[in-house]
Amino acid sequence: MAETEIISSSESNDQFFEGVEKLIEIWFTPAKNADLRKITRQQWENVLKIVRCEIISFTQSEQVDAYVLSESSMFVSRRRWILKTCGTTTPLRCVRAVLSLARDVAGHACVHNVFYSRREFARPASQLSPHDNFDTEVELLDSFFGDGRAYIMGPEKDCWYLYTLLPLEGTVDALEKEQREVGNGCDVSEPDQTIEILMSDLDPEVMDIFTRAASQDAAHATRKSGIDQIIPGMVIDDFLFDPCGYSMNGVAKDGDKDLPSGCYMTIHITPERSCSYVSFESNVPLSSYDEVISRVLHAFRPAKFVLTVFATPDSPAADTPRQLTKFSSLGSFEQKEAQYCRFSGYELHYALYCKFPS
Ligand SMILES: C[S@+](CC[C@H](N)C(=O)[O-])C[C@H]1O[C@@H](n2cnc3c(N)ncnc32)[C@H](O)[C@@H]1O
């Protein structure tokens, strides 16, 4: 019996890995000559030691520095910092260090907005503090940012957690007006949008592409899976782990006529059968994400996924959070849950989809 278990486990490459990422995004208020890209690689390496991961590759465009990490990705631009890490990493432990570097090295003293989000972990009990519990994560975030708000969307096992800043008083309309008008004399708002597709229980045949046994290198896996066609016009920095696992960052080619400078995409893949997980994220500005969503689902064939779209009112994607809520199905997927929220400066759509029984 024990022998059979070991054999089947090694045949399917079946070690547990927590693919679900923690995602933190901090926006700083624009300030003269301030730029987070003044923070050196050595300083980022020290920050990432606190998180328990390291840099394995780097690429950049005019507006974004993109790092592939041993556990997912980091993006640094003039006033936005994004860290997305999986496994048992501890990204919230480094926030204090990042705020200090932002102030002392980059010249950013003022935080404009913060977003911390994640799906429910497959094994929450294996996480290290503060990530073993959403309440503890929120407590730590509040100790930095004071006026945060925490949300839990969707059903218990497939829920999605979000923390963002939201001042206590006033209506959303009043706050948006005030932000546009005051903003230390300069306009702090700029069009922004982010789509995330967090997929689980994926097609084993597709997942096999992201193993060293099936693909000779990362570029091969990128082409074979169709990842290079999801958002054409990106410079791709990809990495194939040994014996399996895949991460990629894409940044818009400078001067590309179709993609605005500053666009990025990132995909991370845990192909192990018992815990398969893929995440897709991009800030590409589109008035409809239908095609991107359909390319992602076609490439990875999940059984289940969480879709989130954030957009500012001045983004080309401004209407998508409301539109998406109306889709009771997407191709062969049934919408199980959907929520639409309006925050100060952003609208959000959250939905959980499951494949129709065949
Ligand atoms: C870093 S990748 C991408 C994780 C990502 N968050 C996701 O969406 O699944 C994780 C995959 O690479 C594999 N892997 C192999 N070597 C690894 C290493 N040294 N560090 C992290 N993951 C590694 C893991 O087993 C897993 O399949």
Q: Determine which one of 73, 200, 247, 276 is catalytic.
A: 247
Residue where the block lists tokens 């896996």 = 221
> Is 287 annotated as catalytic?
no
Span from the CA of 268 to the centroid of ligand 1 (angstroms): 8
> Is 247 annotated as catalytic?
yes
Pocket test for ligand 1, best of 71, 249, 265 (most atoms within 8 A of CB): 71
SS3 of the chain? CHHHHHHHHHHCCCCCCCCCCEEEEEEECCCCCCCHHHCCHHHHHHHHHHHCCCEEEEEECCCCEEEEECCEEEEECCCEEEEEECCCCCHHHHHHHHHHHHHHHHCCCCEEEEEEEEECCCCHHHCCCCCCCHHHHHHHHHHHHCCEEEEEECCHHHCEEEEEECCCCCCHHHHHHHHHHCHHHCCCCCCCEEEEEEEEEECHHHHHCCECCCCCCHHHHHHHHCHHHCCCCEEEEEEECCCECEEEEEEECCCCCCCCCCCEEEEEEECCHHHCEEEEEECCCCCCCHHHHHHHHHHHCEEEEEEEEEECCCCCCCCHHHHHHCCCEECCEEEEEEEEEEECCEEEEEEEEEECCC
What's the one-letter identity of residue 51?
V
> Is 268 annotated as catalytic?
yes
pLDDT in tens, the chain (358 residues): 233 333 333 445 578 999 999 999 999 999 999 999 999 999 999 999 999 999 999 999 999 999 999 999 999 999 999 999 999 999 999 999 999 999 999 999 999 999 999 999 999 999 999 999 999 999 999 999 987 999 999 998 899 999 999 754 445 555 555 555 444 444 567 899 999 999 999 999 999 999 999 999 999 999 999 999 999 999 999 999 999 999 999 999 999 988 999 999 999 999 999 999 999 999 999 999 999 999 999 999 999 999 999 999 999 999 988 888 777 888 899 999 999 998 878 999 999 999 988 6
> Is 86 annotated as catalytic?
yes
Ligand 1 proximity of 197 Cβ (cutoff 6 Å): no
- Report pTM: 0.92
CB atoms within 10 A of CB 111: 16
What the block records as the tokens of 127 is: 């996480």
Span from the CA of 333 to the centroid of ligand 1 (angstroms): 27
In this predicted complex, what is the ipTM?
0.94
From CA 75, how far away is CA 65, in angstroms rounded?
Answer: 6
Q: Determine which one of 112, 131, 268, 349 is catalytic.
A: 268
Instruction: Note whether 36 and 102 are within 8 A (CB).
Output: yes
